[in-house]
Structure 1
Amino acid sequence: MREVVVPPVVVEAAVGGLADCVFRHAREEPGRVVMGRKRGGVWRDVTAGEFAAEVLALARGLVAQGVRFGDRVAVMSRTRYEWTLFDFALWAVGAQPVPVYPSSSAEQVQWILSDSGCTACVVEDEDQAMTVGSVVGGLPRLRRLWQLDAGALAGLVADGRGVPEEVVHGRRGAVAPEAVATVIYTSGTTGRPKGCVLTHANFMFEADTLVRRWESVFRTEPGEVPSTLLFLPLAHVFGRVVEVAAVRARVKLGHQPELAAAELVPELAAFRPTFLLGVPYVFEKVFAAARRAAEAEARVGVFDRAVEAAVRYAEACERQAFGAGPGPSAALRVQHRLYERLVYGRVRAAVGGRVRYAMSGGSAMSRRLGLFFEGAGVTVFEGYGLTESCAAATANQPGATKYGTVGRPIPGGAVHIAEDGEVWLHGRHVFSGYLGDARATRAVLRGGWLATGDIGRLDEDGYLVITGRKKEILVTSNGKSVAPAALEERVRSHPLVAQCVLVGNDRPYVAALITLDEEGVAHWLSMRSRPQLRAAELVHDADLAAEVRRAVVAANTLVSQAEAIRAFRVLPEQFTEERGLLTPSLKLRRRAIETAYAQEVAALYRP
């Protein structure tokens, strides 16, 4: 199959912009809870009326401070309530938020603010203010800098008291669907980031389509309020679409600034969302933590048997959904009910206890992990998209989920597989181009189709399977082409492994650089009553090397002998964004990694 087209399920907006729904909800259901805001360590409800009043007050302050219709304003912060306030206030006055990752370097900040022509910037703390201040000399258009942790919000609200509300509503009424909503800079694994221009229409179509087609995700039990805790970075398009969809669907939205499991898990338990939107990393951490807990309680055998039962149960349900089987057997259903009490309920409790659905994107989730969560009572809909497609372009759907794929095109979208295997996307969610870069735009927009740079295939049911990136295909000196993603994913699924990068371009065989999961290793040592070791000692530990070798052997079963990993090196530290080895969205910078570890790579090929 070369192409799949899915008809739309929503009517495109003819007028208005993203801020309109905030005020419509305040008129229609002013007392409905639409936000959760943490203050003094306690989650407090925010109603539609209260949120609209805050957005209006901030919008008046922005007008008072000179933000004009069409101005671009950078927002550099972690995920927090104030970011959403600024987004909708800026949209209410016809301005365009430009997200910046809070970890961005001074050089990156200067490039984004200069390239986008930002006239103002919102930062979270003093460190970020100093980063902007260090490059302000190269930003002649920048007129304002507001710091959230220094009272910027209260100051803006105070400044806006003299601005009539009608001024804001007049500007809001002038916003059309085709107006630019935001410019999001791709994090870029190579080269300078490019500014993706996304319109109000792009976001409204994407968000409304997701809410309509995945309606079951947003439904709750009687008496429950649909809710989600947003922990994805709002500088990333996935996080922004979650924000917009939640506000438009009147879903209670909470914000969590830290993605690390130690900070995230307690907040999930406190906020108790009804569904999650995340990246595979989150689900991998939940699974790993659950298994470590079982091992610490001398119940790892029960846990592992429960995992196998969950996978088999979910596989049987999947075959039944596609007319290829009768569903779980009676014996398997009995076994599944037993482990529901012993294991699955505990896994769900780790994410708040009320989650039944989740969406995953950003990178590939292993089929086995998806099947486990399905069998454990949490259906994870895996999807695929780019900043240029305003997040999800394909996704698995309720009642028709194929784990190991990224689903069919979202309604109103299309997928085409080009002659060289490249995935092309089409639909109202596709961006209009890169800011000020016609050449780069022409390179990816071809007759209305977005050439993604990803390699994939469509199965017999029109489900997309991503097999790699065009630029990441390894070609050994023997002429063998190897897509690294599947092998890396399988190695990374081992509880002791944090990251895996394959090398082998123009070399005789494929090899791997592997980093260790600190929590996994600490637990592994503890369970063996061994003292904790320093990273430099760990890489030479024979028992640990044997465990990692098992992960590599398991991965090699996926491919032919010519594509298999022949050698590996365990590294004493992880690849991090601070060292320039990861993008802010946690993608590997492969060239930078090979350069940083040139000696280690060379050693993998010595006789």
Structure 2
Amino acid sequence: MNALFEALQRHARENPQRVALDDGSRQLRYGQLAAEVDKLAAQLEFLCVDTLALYADNGIGWIITDLAAMSAGVRCVPLPRFFSDAQLRHVLRDSGADTLLADDDRLAELPGWQREPQAVCGCGWRLSRRQEASSVQLPRGTQKITYTSGTTGEPKGVCLSAASQLAVAASLARASDARADDRHLCVLPLSTLLENIGGVYAPLLAGATICVPRQAEVGMGGAAQLDVQRLLGALHATRASSAILVPQLLLALVAAGEMGAPRPPQLRFVAVGGAPVSQRLLERAQRLGLPVHEGYGLSESASVVALNTPDATRAGSVGKPLPHLSLRFADDGEILVRGSGFLGYCGQPAPAQNDGWIATGDLGHLDDDGYLHLDGRKKSIFITAFGRNVAPEWVERELTQHLAIANAAVFGEGRPWNVAVIVPRALPGVDAQTAVAAAVAAANRELPDYARVQRWLIAGEAFTPDNGLLTSNGRVRRAAVAARYGERLDTLYLETST
């Protein structure tokens, strides 16, 4: 029995009436949770499930299913609801899933799959089975396969053991000082590894309450839609003490707070990650009294690698490495991580053994006090015609911390100055072109001359995972943006710089 299930049994024994899960209309207490998990685990074993694909909205059922799969030794493949139909079919094929559990009919007509008549533990979800056995070979010890969008449209399956996930969860519980009286609000989809581990496993280890309403009830729609009033309402209504946000969600909360929206009073720890965060945005959040702490991680290390905490924080850094990890740096500054590493990718040969060190693709350094600082992506840094190295993520952080700019992609390889493709944010009664111009000018005032954006163009549509311009965790697919807007960007260099 692993540490998570030992903790669940201890909480059930010592505090059976404490609420473990709360979806807004139903509560499940610790005395009930273990029994529900055991019941579903037994059913998965009876059905001889090998690899379970889970497609469902946030809720109590999602968490029970995930825990039951781990308990039964079944591999779990969370399916992001914001993936396209083609991406979902790819995941099912690539992972070798033999069973699909879904809470709606979106995947009802899959070639080669058959709907089964039985309900799973009475939840009424749709159970489908693959009709022919899969030949996919997975790394030994794989318990979860999390899919992350890379540089192509096909998501990549990262194979993780239960031990690696729980090592991160235990470190996060300690770093955030998770405790039994916490109420964690799940804002991100549970299919996101960060929410799965940081928002479910870590609170359960501490015996806390997890508030897990449907995504629409926290204002989330798809991968990039947000109703900030619903999010604020959920934070207040659930009396949330902790939450995990991506930078765009933090920006929306900060903007609302600066316009007079009341701060959720119980909040004590908000982790922000998934993409680079502007330091000035963090400063604005702190002025509002939001307890925001930036972190850094990657799926190959089972999510979080480093995190600022109330007791150990440094502006401009992503915090100190979690205690179960080791860091070192390649000669070019690339961050290498060891500890809680992944087992390999689906459909690819096992990663070359390098004493357990994982190359992150990120450049960074540790300061004298052990805080990790990010210096950009190894593959995205460009060199201007004047020989200056520019990490585009840095410039994009400065641009997108302004409310008028929803997203941006910056370019300048071999050029005398930089250009950008900008996605404006729709603001009532505000001309987008004028607002973006003011935002770019304000960002440029905070940047050195070699990093400033001299010319820019408005994108024809938002960057989203569906159109291939954004990864599922919110990172810009720079090559895809360049391919779509390259000719128009070239014409910007025919203009005279200012």
Q: Do the two structures share a fold, i.e. TM-score over 0.5?
A: yes
- Equivalent residue in structure 2 for 1:370, among 282, 304, 314: 282
Q: Quote the residue 2:63 is aligned against.
A: 84
Please state if 1:211 is matched with 2:173. Answer: yes
Alignment: residue pair count:
472
C-alpha displacement of 1:415:
1.7
Q: Quote the residue 1:172 is aligned against.
A: none
Relative distance call for 1:477 and 1:371 in structure 2 (3 A) is closer
Relative distance call for 1:237 and 1:487 in structure 2 (3 A) is same
C-alpha displacement of 1:558:
4.4
Kept in 1, the 8 Å contact 2:277–2:294? The answer is: yes
SS at match of 2:294: strand
Please state if 1:577 is matched with 2:465. Answer: yes
Q: Quote the residue 1:52 is aligned against.
A: 34
Kept in 1, the 8 Å contact 2:179–2:203? The answer is: no
Relative distance call for 1:243 and 1:283 in structure 2 (3 A) is same
Q: What letter matches 2:307 in structure 1?
A: A
Alpha-carbon distance in 2 for matches of 1:604, 1:255 = 47
Q: Quote the residue 1:4 is aligned against.
A: none
Please state if 1:111 is matched with 2:26. Answer: no
Kept in 2, the 8 Å contact 1:356–1:377? The answer is: no
C-alpha displacement of 1:389:
0.8
Q: Quote the residue 2:48 is aligned against.
A: 66
C-alpha displacement of 1:278:
1.8
Q: Quote the residue 1:99 is aligned against.
A: 78
Q: Quote the residue 2:223 is aligned against.
A: none
Alpha-carbon distance in 2 for matches of 1:267, 1:213 = 25
Kept in 2, the 8 Å contact 1:456–1:464? The answer is: yes
Relative distance call for 1:603 and 1:117 in structure 2 (3 A) is same
Please state if 1:154 is matched with 2:122. Answer: yes
Q: Quote the residue 2:212 is aligned against.
A: 255
C-alpha displacement of 1:20:
4.6
- Using the size of structure 1 for normalisation, the TM-score is 0.72
Kept in 2, the 8 Å contact 1:75–1:97? The answer is: yes
C-alpha displacement of 1:143:
6.2
Kept in 2, the 8 Å contact 1:226–1:251? The answer is: yes
| Mean Cα deviation higher: 507-516 or 17-26 | 17-26
- Equivalent residue in structure 2 for 1:226, among 158, 168, 182: 182
SS at match of 2:332: coil
> CA-to-partner distance for each residue in 1:567-597, whole Å, 9 max, x for gaps?
1112353212222211222221112222222
Q: Report matched runs for 1:45-444 at 5 Å.
A: 45-67=27-49, 71-130=50-109, 133=110, 136-137=111-112, 153-154=121-122, 179-190=141-152, 192-215=154-177, 217-218=178-179, 225-241=181-197, 242-256=199-213, 257-258=215-216, 259=220, 260=226, 261-291=228-258, 293-294=259-260, 347-349=262-264, 353-427=265-339, 429-438=340-349, 441-442=351-352
SS at match of 1:454: strand
| Mean Cα deviation higher: 120-129 or 415-424 | 120-129
C-alpha displacement of 1:397:
2.6
C-alpha displacement of 1:19:
4.1
Relative distance call for 1:573 and 1:192 in structure 2 (3 A) is closer
Kept in 1, the 8 Å contact 2:19–2:29? The answer is: yes
Structure 2: 5+ residue runs without aligned partners?
128-139, 221-225
Kept in 1, the 8 Å contact 2:40–2:120? The answer is: no
Relative distance call for 1:153 and 1:477 in structure 2 (3 A) is farther
Q: Quote the residue 1:449 is aligned against.
A: 357
Q: Which has the higher helix share?
A: 1
> CA-to-partner distance for each residue in 1:242-263, whole Å, 9 max, x for gaps?
2111222211001131422243
> CA-to-partner distance for each residue in 1:468-524, whole Å, 9 max, x for gaps?
111111234554431111111111111211111102234443101111112xx21x5
Alpha-carbon distance in 1 for matches of 2:402, 2:176 = 32
Relative distance call for 1:472 and 1:387 in structure 2 (3 A) is same
SS at match of 1:218: coil
Kept in 1, the 8 Å contact 2:257–2:288? The answer is: no
Alpha-carbon distance in 2 for matches of 1:183, 1:381 = 27
Alpha-carbon distance in 1 for matches of 2:282, 2:385 = 36
Relative distance call for 1:379 and 1:447 in structure 2 (3 A) is same
SS at match of 2:375: strand
Relative distance call for 1:19 and 1:88 in structure 2 (3 A) is farther
- Equivalent residue in structure 1 for 2:419, among 503, 511, 514: 511
Alpha-carbon distance in 2 for matches of 1:145, 1:496 = 49
Alpha-carbon distance in 2 for matches of 1:431, 1:249 = 25
Relative distance call for 1:155 and 1:365 in structure 2 (3 A) is closer
Kept in 1, the 8 Å contact 2:294–2:318? The answer is: yes
Q: What letter matches 1:87 in structure 2?
A: D
Alpha-carbon distance in 2 for matches of 1:354, 1:563 = 40
C-alpha displacement of 1:18:
4.4
> CA-to-partner distance for each residue in 1:154-192, whole Å, 9 max, x for gaps?
1679x9xxxxxxxxxxxxxxxxxx943211122213364
C-alpha displacement of 1:556:
2.7
Alpha-carbon distance in 2 for matches of 1:203, 1:348 = 32
C-alpha displacement of 1:60:
3.0
SS at match of 2:232: helix
Q: CA RMSD in A?
A: 2.7
Alpha-carbon distance in 2 for matches of 1:596, 1:386 = 27
Q: What letter matches 1:100 in structure 2?
A: L
SS at match of 1:180: coil
> CA-to-partner distance for each residue in 1:228-280, whole Å, 9 max, x for gaps?
11011222210111211122221100113142224322222211111222222
SS at match of 1:38: coil
Q: Quote the residue 2:489 is aligned against.
A: 601
Alpha-carbon distance in 1 for matches of 2:395, 2:27 = 45
C-alpha displacement of 1:451:
0.7
Kept in 2, the 8 Å contact 1:274–1:355? The answer is: yes
Alpha-carbon distance in 1 for matches of 2:284, 2:405 = 19
C-alpha displacement of 1:52:
2.0
SS at match of 1:584: coil
C-alpha displacement of 1:45:
3.0
- Equivalent residue in structure 2 for 1:30, among 10, 13, 16: 16
Kept in 2, the 8 Å contact 1:458–1:465? The answer is: yes
- Flag the structure with larger Rg: 1
Kept in 2, the 8 Å contact 1:121–1:146? The answer is: no
Alpha-carbon distance in 1 for matches of 2:312, 2:9 = 36
Q: What letter matches 2:471 in structure 1?
A: T
- Using the size of structure 2 for normalisation, the TM-score is 0.87
Relative distance call for 1:555 and 1:23 in structure 2 (3 A) is same
SS at match of 1:129: coil
- Higher RCO structure (Cα 8 Å, ≥6 apart): 1
Relative distance call for 1:431 and 1:566 in structure 2 (3 A) is same
C-alpha displacement of 1:407:
0.8
C-alpha displacement of 1:285:
0.6
Kept in 1, the 8 Å contact 2:279–2:316? The answer is: yes
Kept in 2, the 8 Å contact 1:119–1:144? The answer is: no
